[in-house]
Amino acid sequence: MPTALVTGATAGIGAAFARRLAADGVSLVLVARDRERLASSAEALHKRYGVEVETLPADLTLDEGLAAVEERLRSGVDLLVNNAGFGHRAGFLDVPVADELRMLRLHCEAVLRLTRAALPSMIAKERGYVVNVASVAAFFTRGTYSASKAWAVNFSESAAAELAGTGVRVMALCPGFVRTEFHERAGMDVSGIPRFLWLRADRVVDEAVRDLALGRWVSVPSARYKLITGVGRYVPRRLAGAVSRRIGRR
């Protein structure tokens, strides 16, 4: 039976991945900071779907947390979902440097290290998948968050190209606004975001699984966000930044 390791697995897109994979009969390794919430999620998934669910409490902004997950990945998984992440309510100049560095560690260093730890066993089996959850923000200019997600997209595409022919696939998942705990945890006011821009986490995951099977390097769920990212790739960067400020957090 295949095994998937999902970070940030107790809420939002990570929890949606866990549900979808469990429904498909995939054994799970769930990673998050909250030990009690991990145990509750694991029990619920095991009871509903009958799959084996392992929990690994870890803070991926700390070296000991990263090392623990790296060690688990080296023992072999078939799918890695790098989903853990967070945002800041304030702009770059109003956020403490320590908090910005925590974001970079989680969105960039953790993605690099965990992907690197997972790949050797996948390559040896000539089969495996890595999904790095980025964001539509990667295609716009919106502070450290969008910069870190742009790095995740570029890293994923670079790894996918390097691994061509090995049987291992790497893909960046770039959702737009998704109804999760993400914005509430960051203290963001999203009341001005139009209803049509919101996506459901389960739909995002369904499209991601489909795109991964198709061998795509970047997945942008929904036609509306495909259009938005297409515009973001080709309009002048200053204009894209202005649009981002208007529709982004207050």
Catalytic residue positions, numbered: 145
Instruction: Count the Cβ atoms, other than its own, within 10 Å of residue 126.
Output: 10
d(CA 231, CA 176): 14
Q: Are 221 and 175 in contact (CB under 8 A)?
A: yes
Task: Tell me the Cα Rg of the chain.
Answer: 17
Tell me, what DSSP letter sits at residue 181? S
Dihedrals φ, ψ of 120, to 5°? -55, -45
Q: Show the tokens assigned to 197.
A: 């821009």
Using an 8 Å Cβ cutoff, are 202 and 242 in contact?
A: no
Q: Which of 109, 104, 92, 160 is nearest to 131 (CA)?
A: 160
